[in-house]
Amino acid sequence: MVKLAVYGGSFNPFHYGHRSLVEGVLRLGRYDRILVIPTYQSPLKEPHGGASWEDRLDMLNAALVGYPSVTVDLCEIRRGGISYTIDTIRDIEARYQPEGPIGLVMGDDALLGFHRWKEASLLAEKVEFLVGRREITEGTQNFPYSVRMLPTEVVPIASRDIRERIASGKSWKHLVPCRVASIIEQRGLYGASSLQERSRYYGNLDETLLDFLEDLLRSWLDGERYVHSKNVALLASEMAAHFGLDAPRAYLAGLSHDMCKAFSTDRLISLAQEDGFPVGVLEQKKPPLLHGRAAAVLLSKTFAITDEEVLDAIRSHTFGNPRMGPLAQVLYIADKIEPSRPFVSPFSKSWRSFSHLEDLFRSVFLENIQYLQQKNHMIHEDSMELLAQLTGGKTYVPH
């Protein structure tokens, strides 16, 4: 099971004060993953001005590149309207099944108004308060619940002040990560002058491969697809470690598996045909299904990634096939059950109870086949071969 910390807010925009709290949680070393949850609309703040939720999501994704254990969860965005923290905590508990109480990250300036939160006393029973100092005063003196102070310095920055500085033409870039500043300028948010040229972070030769890919994917994929890709990477990494496989390779496969999802039909077909495999009937009808094969070719030809197990995992994650190795099985499972999907598989909660990867893979694969049959979708020939292998050639009858 995973120990989770949750950090919610409008992040309008995300700034160094926010990042300080994230890094403070990481320094504690008590949590396996931090979920950053952007609000659709906060119950205690005015409706967001100057940036859409899509803009705020893109800024979050950009700011969190390089933090592999930190990801964005869209539950409040999907819920729409006003969200209350107690409802979000219940949602996270149901989907992630975390170990122990969830860490609730907040600045000490939020403590004074905690008594106004919905079901505050019940919320206090469910979480551990992780408090970072946002003010120089002692913000925890009169708080009636125990807190764990984060090892952070006082970073007295407020998003409202940044928006006002931008609108009035004052200096502001020193208050936000550079990637956030670029998005603000590119899109003319908060009254900023829009840039004519997009910044190209992927030209920075000092970045690691994963940071490089995360930056690139953030520019290629929409916000929700990027969040899905990062969640698949995190789950695949965790699952690989659980079953004795190499976690970094699983993370790379998970991060990259949908990198070509937004490519044009012509580009997908052109890339996929370079792998030497035939294009099946289903793929001819629906070329976007070639995105896994295209991604494997792109990683090999453009990024010089030669790890055949990683490439095969990415190539086969859409349909599966009888020749899948353990890493490919892990990616297939993670793609289908990662908990930020709108329809959560029961295996997203129970996968750790499986002792053998093959048993888990078989269960998830058959669940997916059942779904396709119920929807009367055409099933790929590779999936049919794998189905025959897993069922001993017998006709599969869904339960």
**Per-residue pLDDT tens digits for 274-302:** 998 888 889 999 999 999 999 999 999 88
- Judge: domain 4-157, CATH 3.40.50.620: yes
Placement of tokens 């931090």 in the chain: 34
In whole angstroms, give the CA distance from residue 119 to residue 295: 47
Nearest to 154 by CA among 198, 108, 200, 190: 108
Q: Which two tokens stand for residue 143?
A: 């708080």
Q: What is the DSSP letter of 41?
A: B
pLDDT band per the 50, 70, 90 thresholds, residue 206: very low
Q: Which two tokens stand for residue 42?
A: 């906060």
Amino acid at site 118? K
Q: So what's the pLDDT on residue 113? A: 86
Tell me which of 392 and 217 has the higher pLDDT.
217
Q: So what's the pLDDT on residue 49? A: 57
Q: What is the DSSP letter of 15?
A: -
Placement of tokens 């979920």 in the chain: 35
Question: CATH assignment of 217-391?
Answer: 1.10.3210.10
Q: So what's the pLDDT on residue 32? A: 95
Q: How far is CA 100 from the centre of its chain?
A: 22
Q: Using CA of residue 347, residue 352, residue 354, residue 356, what is the dihedral sign?
A: positive
Placement of tokens 């002792």 in the chain: 355
The three-state DSSP-derived secondary structure of 9-35 is: ECCCCCCHHHHHHHHHHHHHCCCCEEE
Q: Which range has the worst mean pLDDT, 201-205, 302-306, 365-369?
A: 201-205
Q: So what's the pLDDT on residue 288? A: 95
Spell 294-311 as b/e; 16+ CB within 10 A means b. bbbbbbbeeeebeeebbb
Q: So what's the pLDDT on residue 211? A: 76
For 21-61, the pLDDT digits (tens) are 999 999 999 999 999 999 987 665 555 557 899 999 999 99
pLDDT band per the 50, 70, 90 thresholds, residue 195: very low
Share of the chain above pLDDT 90, in %: 62
| Pairing relationship of beta strands 127-132 and 4-9 according to DSSP bridges | unpaired
pLDDT band per the 50, 70, 90 thresholds, residue 202: very low
Q: So what's the pLDDT on residue 48? A: 52
Amino acid at site 154? V
Average pLDDT over residues 355-368: 95
Q: Which two tokens stand for residue 206?
A: 């000092």
Q: Which two tokens stand for residue 309?
A: 């197990």
Would you kindly state where each structural domain of the chain is located, as residue ranges? 4-157, 217-391
Q: Which two tokens stand for residue 151?
A: 């090892």
Residues in the chain: 399
Average pLDDT over residues 136-162: 78
Q: So what's the pLDDT on residue 196? A: 34
For 81-125, the pLDDT digits (tens) are 899 999 999 999 999 999 999 999 998 888 888 889 999 999 999
